[in-house]
Structure formats: C-alpha cells, structure tokens
Homo-oligomer: A and B are copies of this chain.
C-alpha cells in the first residue's frame, strides 16, 4: 500500500492522507484487521511532520475506520470498508457538486460538462498522484 501526497495542493496534507486511506480501504487494498503504517514510519516516508499523520489517523479513528491497538499500532476496523465506501462517495460528490454549481452558474449545460469530463479525463494520468490503474 502506497500513499502519496502533493504538498503544493490546496487540499491539506492530512486530508490527502485521509482520502488515500479511505479510498484504499473502499477498494479493498486495505482489509479489516490489517495495520496501517506507524505514525513515525508514514511521516518519514511522506516527509511530513508526525503530527500531521497523527491528525489524519485520529480523524479516521473518530470516523470508526481505524482503531488503536495500544502499544501496537492502528488497524482497519471491521466496519471500515462499509464506512469508507460511504465516505468515498461523499467526498467525490461534495467536490463534484462544487464544480457543477460553478459550471451551472457559468451558464454551461449538462452536455457541455460531460464533454469537458471526457476532454480532461485522459489528461489526468500524466499529472496524477500515483496509482497507475
């Protein structure tokens, strides 16, 4: 499992980490009972401050996606996959709604937007953050 963050992105690093883990669990790349990297390890790998990772993990714990095994680390909960699929949908929908609202108030039609999606989609792969498939 590999996590990648884009430090120059407007979306906060801790949210990027959350998103990556949510998406990985939703896609069954991370299974319940599996442990996530330790705070220190992930921080070192991403070259960010450990506190930033702590924040991401704690938010995932509050969301019932991770649970702490004291002294050992944190692992995916049994409910994780279900919650992550819900959350994934919510994340994408939220961002999508913002974009659509903007498009609508700019006077575009649904057809215009779909054309734009098809135009932009292939262009993503060149600049995307990781996952090749």
Number of identical protomers: 4
A116 CB to nearest B CB, Å: 6
In the complex, per-residue mask of A42-82: 1 if CB is within 8 Å of any chain B CB, else 0: 00000001000000000000100000011100000000000
In the complex, per-residue mask of A82-98: 1 if CB is within 8 Å of any chain B CB, else 0: 00000010011101111
Contacts of A92 in B (CB 8 A): 99, 102-103, 106, 108, 116
Contact A93 B116 (CB under 8 A): yes
Q: How far is the CA of A106 from the CA of B92 in the complex (A)?
A: 8
Contact B19 A98 (CB under 8 A): no
Contacts of A7 in B (CB 8 A): 69-70
* Nearest-CB residue, chain B, relative to A104: B124
A84 CB to nearest B CB, Å: 10
Q: How far is the CA of A71 from the CA of B101 in the complex (A)?
A: 24
A43 CB to nearest B CB, Å: 14
A6 CB to nearest B CB, Å: 9
Contacts of A12 in B (CB 8 A): 70
Apart from A27-B107, A100-B121, A104-B124, 10 more pairs, CB < 8 Å: A10-B98, A11-B98, A49-B71, A88-B106, A91-B106, A97-B120, A100-B117, A101-B128, A110-B121, A117-B117
